[in-house]
Structure 1
Amino acid sequence: MDTAATALTFRDATDADVDELVALVESAYRGDSSRVGWTTEADILQGQRTDPEGVREIIKSADGRVLTVEQGGRTVACCQLERRGGHAYFGMFAVTPTAQGGGLGKAVLAEAERQARETWGATEMHMTVISVRDDLIAWYERRGYRRTGEMTPFPYGDERYGIPQRDDLQFELLVKPLA
């Protein structure tokens, strides 16, 4: 998909978007539909990636928002942005599997960074990535993120985050200066 061919529209999600956003996130990371794209976690996690309550909570948060990306009248991507002091947190990033690999993700990430910097004055963007996702971490590194080596445990036993298929999962903090 050539993102330049059809303009992208960025807007904050509302309650009316919740079901569509949950479906988008699930399609990008879980089950057979996710295997069309390259961001699938289907081999390391089964079960859900998010749920309506979690998405609604971010939308309603005073310091958070879900950036919804539309192209040609349909939702094609989303991400979570959250203000955390002097930095912003980037999460729940999803691009519809059939649109992956064409520059859409790069455009969404750049817009999220711009908005965090300009709206909140954030000087850094933080995110956590499952540490065994070498291809995904390399993609972020090509966009200026650096691995910190700072790990947090995966929430084993909490099926809201999925059902792990291996016992070595943890999250690594990645950071990028925005100034």
Structure 2
Amino acid sequence: MDTAGRATAELSYRDATEADVEALVPLIESAYRGDASRAGWTTEADILQGRRTDPEGVRAVITTPGSKLLTVLRDGVLVACCQLEHRGDAAYFGMFAVSPALQGAGLGKQIIAEAERLVRAEWGVREMHMTVISLREELIAFYERRGYRRTGKMSPFPYGDERFGVPQRDDLAFELLVKELR
């Protein structure tokens, strides 16, 4: 269901609560890190080790004003999530995780479309922003097919801060991707 309680295809959507943290952390970890992430195509396991997030990080997204973690359920089972943050005329899209076993089946496209619809309706924003590790060409290409454009604006990877993982390379940086919402 979307935030108005309407069913959307086979998926339902709702804002995460603190009671969801225990289920969300392993979902996010499984999509990005470790051997479980290799079942999907969005893994960062070859460039980052360690944790992707922790309960405190997920709780902060849920409880910070102007921020939400949208949960995605299929037949009542948590299968995906994404962070949405209101930033003036734009929204930030992050912490996007789809269960690795379900990746490549079109869920990501549906979830992104719902997230874009939601931020336009709730916050009236004109753009969606996200940052992606610039080396992730296949992932960037996925977002480009969804209408996001590379800006060339880079921000440094937070080396030394293990809350973001343990880098396996010394050339990591984030690139800002932007999509105009209509």
Query: TM bucket by the smaller chain?
Result: over 0.9
Q: How many residue pairs get matched?
A: 174
Q: How high is the TM-score relative to the length of structure 2? A: 0.95
| Partner residue in 2 for 1:46 | 49
Q: Is 1:75–2:78 an aligned residue pair? A: yes
- 1:56-114 alpha-carbon deviations (Å, 9 max, x no partner): 01101110000000001210000000000010000000000000000001100000000
For 2:59, give the aligned amino acid.
R
Unaligned runs of at least 5 residues, structure 2: 1-8
For 1:64, give the aligned amino acid.
S
Unaligned runs of at least 5 residues, structure 1: 1-5
| Partner residue in 1 for 2:38 | 35
- 1:96-151 alpha-carbon deviations (Å, 9 max, x no partner): 00000000011000000000111000100000000000000000000000000000
Question: Distance in 2 between the 1:139 and 1:122 partners?
Answer: 22
| Partner residue in 1 for 2:124 | 121
Which runs of at least 4 in structure 1 moved beyond 4 Å after TM superposition? none
For 1:12, give the aligned amino acid.
D
- 1:15-47 alpha-carbon deviations (Å, 9 max, x no partner): 010021110010001000000000000000000
| Partner residue in 1 for 2:163 | 160
RMSD value, Cα: 0.7
**SS of match in other structure, 2:109:** helix
**SS of match in other structure, 1:76:** strand
| Partner residue in 1 for 2:16 | 13
Q: Is 1:89–2:84 an aligned residue pair? A: no
| Partner residue in 2 for 1:3 | none
**Correspondences of 1:56-67 after superposition (within 5 Å):** 56-67=59-70
Percent identity over the alignment?
70
Q: Is 1:107–2:105 an aligned residue pair? A: no
**SS of match in other structure, 1:81:** strand
